A = this chain, B = another copy of it.
Amino acid sequence: MPTPAKTSREALVAIALKLVDANGAEALTIAAVAEAAGVRGPSIYKHFADRAALLLAVSVAVIEQLAAVMAPETTGRSPRQRLFSMGVAYRRFALKSPHLYQMIYRPDFSGDPAIGEASRLSVQPLFDELAAAGVPPKRLLSLARVLVAFLHGFVSMEASLAFRLGGDVDKAFEEGFKTLLDTI
């Protein structure tokens, strides 16, 4: 006779996202998730194989959130303006939710197919805009890699307070990103 489920995979991911957003990945303990879900620790294992699987689900969700904040920027104006505001939205997300942002590009689950699929979907708008801007197919992949590398590097350094020598960080971001966009 089945006992009614007190929680669900989706509810647990939502809880996990909140925990990581608030206090980073190490705050994502089985005990904390279980308590927030109104359930005992071992029950989590009915929904996820282990803690790593939960972390991976959070990572996928973060990639989807990043794609979602960039999507509204793919409308109106020129391809180049859209690309610039996509970058600005990317940076804004990373600075607003640094703990969540840190969940992406983690070597631990880099090989996972779910991450691969989410990544593929989230960079598609970038490819589309680059193509719309007239970038030849041969250069598409290289240029996309360069742009994302700059965005990721800049915002992850910024989020980890690596730019501590003063000066105008906003200006550096704009300068670097526009320099790369100018090669289109």
Contact = CB atoms under 8 A, between A and B. Distances in A.
Copies in the complex: 2
A111 B171 contact: no
A146 interface: yes
A165 to B, nearest CB: 6
Contacts of A98: 107
A153 B149 contact: yes
Interface string A143-184: 101101111111011011111111111011001100110010
Nearest to A120: B165
B157 A149 contact: yes
A157 B161 CA distance: 19
Contacts of A164: 116
A138 to B, nearest CB: 10
Contacts of A107: 24, 98, 102, 159-161
Contacts of A152: 153, 156-157
A105 interface: yes
B119 A162 contact: yes
B150 A176 contact: yes
A152 B105 CA distance: 12
Contact of A105 (B24, B116, B150, B162): B162
Nearest to A180: B179
Given A146-B175, A150-B153, A153-B153, 11 more contacts: A24-B108, A98-B107, A102-B107, A107-B160, A141-B166, A142-B176, A145-B154, A146-B172, A149-B154, A152-B153, A179-B179
